[in-house]
Structure 1
Amino acid sequence: MNLSNIAVQLYTLRDYCQNEADLEQTLRKVREIGYEAVQVSGIGPIAPERVKQLADAEGLRICATHVSLDSMVNDFDNTVQMHKLWNCKYVGLGSIPDEYRTNGEGYSTFAKQATEIGRKLKEHDLQFIYHNHQFEYQKFAGRTGMDILQQESDPAAVGFELDTYWVHVGGVNPVDAIHQVKGRMGVVHLKDLEIVDYKQVFAEIGEGNLNFKAIIEACREIGVEWYVVEQDVCRRDPFESLAISFNNLKQFL
Structure 2
Amino acid sequence: MENINVQVYSLVSEPISPIEKLKTIAKLGFAGAEFTADFTEVPVEEMKKVLAENNLKVDSAHVGLDQIEGVLPYFAELGAKLVICPMTNFCNKAEAEEVAAELNRLGNIAKQYGIKIGYHNHTDEFYVDEGKYLYDWLIDACDPEVTAFQLDCGWCSAAGVNPVDFINSHAGRIASIHIKENGGVIGANKPQSRHDTTPRFKFEKDADGKPIFPPEFLKMKEEHDKLNVPQGQGIVDWKAVKAAADAQCDNVIYVVEREASYNDPQDRVACLAEDIAWLKANL
TM range (shorter): 0.7 to 0.9
- The answer to whether structure 1 residue 217 and structure 2 residue 243 are counterparts is yes
Q: What is the aligned partner in structure 1 of residue 56 from structure 2?
A: 60
- The answer to whether structure 1 residue 244 and structure 2 residue 277 are counterparts is no
Q: CA deviation at 1:227?
A: 0.8
Q: What is the aligned partner in structure 2 of residue 181 from structure 1?
A: 170
Residues 198-227 of structure 1: CA deviation (Å, up to 9, x unaligned): 984123321322211211221221235221
Find 1:160's aligned residue among 142, 149, 152: 149
Cα distance in 2, alignment partners of residues 202 and 123 from structure 1: 39
Cα distance in 2, alignment partners of residues 212 and 190 from structure 1: 8
Q: What is the aligned partner in structure 2 of residue 40 from structure 1?
A: 35
Find 2:84's aligned residue among 92, 95, 103: 92
Q: What is the aligned partner in structure 2 of residue 27 from structure 1?
A: 22
CA contact (8 A) 1:204 1:231 kept: no
Q: CA deviation at 1:52?
A: 2.6
Alignment CA distance shift 1:229-1:52 (3 Å): same
Cα distance in 1, alignment partners of residues 254 and 101 from structure 2: 27
- Rg larger in 1 or in 2? 2
CA contact (8 A) 1:36 1:59 kept: yes
Alignment CA distance shift 1:147-1:244 (3 Å): same
Q: Gapped runs of 5+ residues in structure 1?
A: none
Residues 26-48 of structure 1: CA deviation (Å, up to 9, x unaligned): 22222122112110026464333
Q: What is the aligned partner in structure 1 of residue 207 from structure 2?
A: none
CA contact (8 A) 2:76 2:114 kept: no
CA contact (8 A) 1:14 1:42 kept: no
Partner SS, residue 16 of structure 1: coil
Alignment CA distance shift 1:216-1:252 (3 Å): farther
Q: What is the aligned partner in structure 2 of residue 134 from structure 1?
A: 123
- The answer to whether structure 1 residue 15 and structure 2 residue 13 are counterparts is yes
Alignment CA distance shift 1:62-1:173 (3 Å): same
TM-score calculated relative to the size of structure 1: 0.86
Cα distance in 1, alignment partners of residues 47 and 270 from structure 2: 23
Q: Write the letter of the residue equivalent to 1:57.
A: E
Cα distance in 1, alignment partners of residues 281 and 181 from structure 2: 16
Partner SS, residue 49 of structure 1: helix
CA contact (8 A) 1:17 1:23 kept: no
TM-score calculated relative to the size of structure 2: 0.78
Find 1:113's aligned residue among 77, 99, 102: 102
Q: CA deviation at 1:113?
A: 1.6
Higher fraction of helix: 1
Deviates more, 1:44-53 or 1:32-41: 44-53
Between the two proteins, what is the percent identity of the paired residues?
A: 25
Find 1:228's aligned residue among 231, 255, 278: 255
RMSD of the TM alignment (CA)?
2.2
Alignment CA distance shift 1:160-1:17 (3 Å): farther
Alignment CA distance shift 1:226-1:198 (3 Å): closer
Q: CA deviation at 1:252?
A: 3.7
Find 2:181's aligned residue among 192, 214, 219: 192
- The answer to whether structure 1 residue 124 and structure 2 residue 113 are counterparts is yes
Partner SS, residue 156 of structure 1: coil
Cα distance in 1, alignment partners of residues 14 and 18 from structure 2: 6
Cα distance in 2, alignment partners of residues 33 and 248 from structure 1: 13
Q: CA deviation at 1:51?
A: 2.8
Q: CA deviation at 1:8?
A: 0.9
